[in-house]
Structure formats: structure tokens, C-alpha cells
Amino acid sequence: MPEGPLLAEPIRPLTEREFLNISRLAYEKFGLQLKPEKYELVTARLGKKVRAAGCRSFQEYYQRVVDDRTGEALIELIDALATNFTNFLREPAHFEFLLKEVLPECAARDRLAIWSTACSTGEEPYSIAFSVLDALAGGARPQLRILATDISSKALAEARRGVYPAAKLESLPPGWRRAFFLRGDGKWNGWYRVKPEIARQIEFRRINLIEPGSDLELFRVIFCRNVMIYFDKPTQQKLVGRLAAHLEPGGYLFIGHSESLTGIEHPLAYVRPTIYRRGER
């Protein structure tokens, strides 16, 4: 009969105290607010981790995470709780603005740096690359540099692979599949991989947005979409301040359409809903 931690006796239900401990850890380490209505989500997503670790309770698992000096257990907890829903060309108004407003301003530049702060499984940074390369095809263009970051190691691993099922590509403009992807065959029939020469223009890196300090450069555009909805106001305040500090003069910040900077002090000028700009000086 098969043995192993996954077949151990049922774990004890998540208690209120255990939920509070996990919520506090998630908030302190990566700014995620787990409100009481997230109880079932935490139970479902962490339950598998608890069983896989051979623990008999959420408290025992929590203590293992806290005691792990390598930080790997914390990363696994974050991966389990993080929401990584995304699509190619999600919220298309931002890509239209990028092509119609930002690119013409950068026509004479040698370099264009863009930061996708919560890149998830890669659809956002690849959409940025495809849009820019398609718009500037056949003409002189600045060297494109895209930094794609996320807190989830699991999501970043998928993003680096750049492999997607055909259904994911159905919303792309005609010609993009042929221009930017390699079609799989054999066991990979129905799957597509981003061409290596496109993928090389993107650097994927794990970054926790709420941790202070970084050696990042200045960017012309920063995408930080559908991230702040998980944070409280103080955390949003700190995040926007850090993002603004990494915008070059005249640079743009894009946030999600369900987000707003209302009630947050920041040095950015309102351009249109979900788009803000740093002053030229």
C-alpha cells in the first residue's frame, strides 16, 4: 500500500488563531492582506502544503515556515497564496497608450526601459515586447529593455519558459503568432513557445515590491497593475513612492483599472484613468 505524507491522517482544521498568524506573516513579509473572508482560500491553498510537509496542523506548518532560515518555505507559502491570473494584452487601453503616446516620444532615444512589476506567468511583459516590436518593425527603434519581476518563484519559472497553449493566443492580433512564437509538435502539439530572440530582451527577476532598497535603474514606463488591490493604504503609499522613484522624468506609471491613487500622496501627475506621469524635472 502506498505510503507518504500525502496519505497521512487528516490535518486539523484551520483555527482562527492559526489564520491570524498566517495572515500576519503574509502581511509583514509581502504586504498581502488576508481578510476573514479569505479563510476558505487559505484553507484550500495551504492545506496541500501542510499535507505535503507531513504536518498535522496549520500551526505546525506555520512554525516550520517561520523557523526555516533558508527562506525557501516562505517562498513556497507565498507561491501558494499569490493569485497569478493574467492574459495577453490584458487591459488593452494601456497598450494603445504605449504605442500612440509613449513610443512617439521615444523615437529619437537609444534605449527604452520598461518594468513589469508583477509579471505573473509572463503574459504582460511578452505583450509589451510584442506590441513595441510590432509597432517599430522595419524602422529605426530604441533598444528595448524589459524587466519583469514577481514575488512568486513558481510564476517566474513559467514566465521564463514562455510556453503557452494555443487557447491563450487566440486574442492576439493576426500575424503575431507567426512573428513571435515557435509552434510545438509531437507531445507539444497545440503549444507555442516565445521565440528566443524575443525572450532575450526580457530579464525575469524575483522582487518583493514591499521590501526596501534595490539597485534598479530608471524606467520610462512602469506597469503595476492589479497589485495594490491586495494591499492596505499604508502599503500602497510606500509602494507608489518607490515606483515613482524609479520613473525617469516624464515617465509613466500604469495601474489596474480597478485601482486608484485617490487618498495616496505621490509626486505624479494624473494623465487619464489608471495612467500617471512623473514631471520632466
Cα torsion for 29, 31, 36, 42, to the nearest 10°?
-60
The CATH code for residues 92-162+196-278 is 3.40.50.150
d(CA 181, CA 177): 5
Catalytic residue among 45, 64, 160, 177: 45
Quickly list DSSP for 266-280. -SEEEEETTEEEE--
Burial label, 99 (beta-carbon count in 10 A; 0-12, 13-18, 19+): middle
Please say whether the beta carbons of 38 and 77 come within 8 A: no
Catalytic residue among 51, 79, 150, 242: 150
Mean pLDDT by 10 residues, the chain (281 residues): 52 93 90 88 91 92 92 86 82 96 90 95 97 83 91 92 95 94 94 96 93 84 93 92 96 94 94 94 69
Active site residue 215: no
The per-residue pLDDT for 2 is: 46
Whole-angstrom distance, CA of residue 130 vs CA of residue 180: 7
pTM, 2 dp: 0.86
Domain parsing of the chain, residue ranges: 5-81, 92-162+196-278
The model's pLDDT over 220-268, given as tens digits with 9 standing for 90+, comes to 999 999 999 889 899 999 999 999 999 999 999 999 998 999 999 999 9
Share of the chain above pLDDT 90, in %: 68
For the domain spanning 5-81, the CATH number is 1.10.155.10
134 is catalytic: no
